[in-house]
Amino acid sequence: MGRYRLCGVLLFTLQLFYVLTSTTTNVVAATASFDYNDALDKSLLFFEAQRSGRLPGNQRVHWRGDSGLEDGFSQQADLVGGYYDAGDHVKFGLPMAYSVTLMSWAAIDLKKEIVAANQMDHTLEAIRWGTDYFLKAHCDNNVLWAQVGEGEEDHSCWQRAEEMTTSRLAYKLDSSHPGSDVAGETAAALAAASLAFKPYNSSYSGLLLSHAKEIFSFADTFRGLYDDSYPEAESFYPSSGYTDELLWAAAWLYRATNNDYYLQYASYNGASLGGTGNSVKMFSWDNKYAGVQILLTKVLLDGDGQAYTDTLKQYKARADFFVCAYLQKNGGDNVPMTPGGLAFLLASNNLQYAASASFLLAIYSEYLASSSSVIQCPDGTVQSQDLLNFAKSQADYILGNNPQSMSYLIGYGTHYPQKPHHRGSSIPSIHELSTRLDCSQGFDEWYRNWNPNPNVLYGGLIGGPDSSDCFTDDRDNYDQSEPTLTAGAPLIGLFSKLHSAFSSSPPSGYHESPKTPPQSSYSDETKEPSTPSGYDQYQNPSASYASPDQPAETPLQSTSVQNPSAPEPAPSSDYILNSPAPGPVIEDYVMVNQQINSAPSVLSGRVKYLVLKAMLPLVPLLIAAL
């Protein structure tokens, strides 16, 4: 009987090992249920936390206060308002405009989903906080203010926005200091925003469109990189080219105006500016090609290609490459995936790229569904639902369906990062701790503080885990723990689409403060933001100081494919489809051959180890018994 008992114990252990190791990989996926509307509401709250300027009466993030109230005054400009970029207090025009473009795109093509989620008011408020600032920044023909604040000096301080002592020097683009990348993206943002506001406020919409046209003309006429004009900017948001932004702006202006000139521009310059020749795997603040390609594919699918149909088909071929690469159906030339199922492109702040790609796929799924179209990938046919399913897999990973079982969206769920790399979040509110901190004091008392951030930065999407799905919740780990505008912007459209497609729950909202009424508050009684007079009465608030010994913050990596020299915009009959250009340089990742939705449980490896360890002593006993 002892032999049979021993055999039975071993067989039971083997069966237990099989059950545990074969099912743990599906535990999270099988039980996870996410409230996308709550995630949407919190994502919009993040933009309220990033506001610069005088805060409105309906501000929901109460630990923030007025700040940057004299931005631009020392240079005879009113640059009050706009958004702080990330965990710092610089207002970078390129990523800010990109973020506004994406939020506007969501408000246009996912309007019914955002309205159904009771979030259109907040979405339009988030867009307008950016566009009002851009109207001020475009204060004259062929002039656009591209940045406020000096990155190096700002990053040498750890202070709240309300008590900044760093320089607020602003950088102006003009005919002698061009910046077609920033100007092109700003034109795209204003054109897209004009469409978002058109149903609610026609006069404001018209104002935005008028500025968009002028800024595009400036970008196209005086061509150049903004960080060539101002090398100081290169350390933080280096631009790899402006050709994608010119096409991006033209595509949005065509959609906003239905003026054939802009479609002609995008068609005639498609090859020379890289739109029909670049096959990319990344959509980002620096690389808009995939966005251009999908936006112009809509024109083709809607049957509005006219004489430009052949060129639009080339744009669509590149858009389809982007999709096939993410869905792992691109003949081996796919986007790398982590073992847990996350698209992984860059080691620094990777989640923003997964989020932006997912937003694009959700938008493209709309276009495919409305035109009853499919995509023929090298490894099979792709339906519109396949795109949405992949977008959902990435959103679910962000919200907690990952090996860490952690929500990387701050404030969502019960397990989320406690120490994000963010100045305002990491220091008690100016309303609670009125004592002003100098640069080094902030580092000593709060940056190096091991406690969780005192202010929850609801809706901030941090950089996220590494290529092995590992994450360290550390304020000093800025590559993984810093939230950015560019990471948060695609979530507005992504979560609204997923809430509509996969959720049955009613709008939940931010539980700590009442929501604004669902009816839009945007009337037609709108005027352009005012500009103060008498600048000489204002003093420059910047102050000199000795830079303390603080951790350095690395610049974001450039993500565009190339920087071709752009020719003058002239009609061309050369519509030959170029051979695929190489994708973006993707460094510091581990290529993992794994199915997309195969995220293992964080405990699976430990469980296997313990069961195997328990089995080992039984093996010699079984052999002896036999």
Each residue of 289-309: pLDDT tens digit? 999 999 999 999 999 999 999
For residue 28, tell me if it sits in a domain: no
For residue 231, tell me if it sits in a domain: yes
pLDDT > 90? residue 403 = yes
- Give the number of domains in the chain: 1
Token pair 């950016």 in the structure block, residue: 130
Catalytic residue among 89, 138, 421, 422: 421
Mean pLDDT of 195-221: 98
Q: Which domain holds residue 113?
A: 36-502
Q: What is the CATH number of the domain that holds 48?
A: 1.50.10.10
pTM for the model stands at: 0.80
Q: Hey, what's the torsion of the CAs at 224, 132, 289, 140, to 10 degrees?
A: -20
DSSP state of 148: E
pLDDT (tens digit per residue) in 321-340: 999 999 999 999 999 999 99
> Judging by beta carbons within 10 Å of its beta carbon (0-12, 13-18, 19+), is residue 160 exposed, middle or buried?
buried
Q: Which pLDDT score, from 0 to 100, does residue 4 have?
A: 45
What sign for the dihedral angle of Cα 427, 428, 429, 434? Answer: negative
What region does 82 belong to: left with phi over 0, alpha with psi -120 to 50, or beta?
left
Q: Which residues contact 177 (CB under 8 A, 6 or more apart)?
A: 224, 229, 230
**pLDDT confidence of 451, banded at 50, 70, 90?**
very high
For residue 19, tell me if it sits in a domain: no
According to DSSP, the residues that pair with 170 across neighbouring strands are 148
For residue 303, tell me if it sits in a domain: yes
Q: Which helix (H) or strand (E) holds 144?
A: strand 144-148
SS3 541: coil
d(Cα 196, Cα 143) in Å, to the nearest integer? 25
For residue 571, tell me if it sits in a domain: no
Strand order in the sheet with 144-148: 91-92, 144-148, 170-173
Q: Quick one: tokens of 86?
A: 């990330």
DSSP state of 240: S
Token pair 């948001």 in the structure block, residue: 237
Q: Quick one: tokens of 298?
A: 């809509």
Q: What mean pLDDT is reported for the chain?
A: 82
- Greatest mean pLDDT among 2-11, 420-429, 613-622: 420-429
Judge whether 60 and 513 are in contact, CB under 8 Å: yes
211 in active site: no
DSSP state of 11: H
Judge whether 88 and 484 are in contact, CB under 8 Å: no
For residue 430, tell me if it sits in a domain: yes
For residue 48, tell me if it sits in a domain: yes
* Count of CB atoms situated within 10 Å of the CB of 593: 9
For residue 564, tell me if it sits in a domain: no
d(Cα 623, Cα 197) in Å, to the nearest integer? 77
d(Cα 208, Cα 193) in Å, to the nearest integer? 7
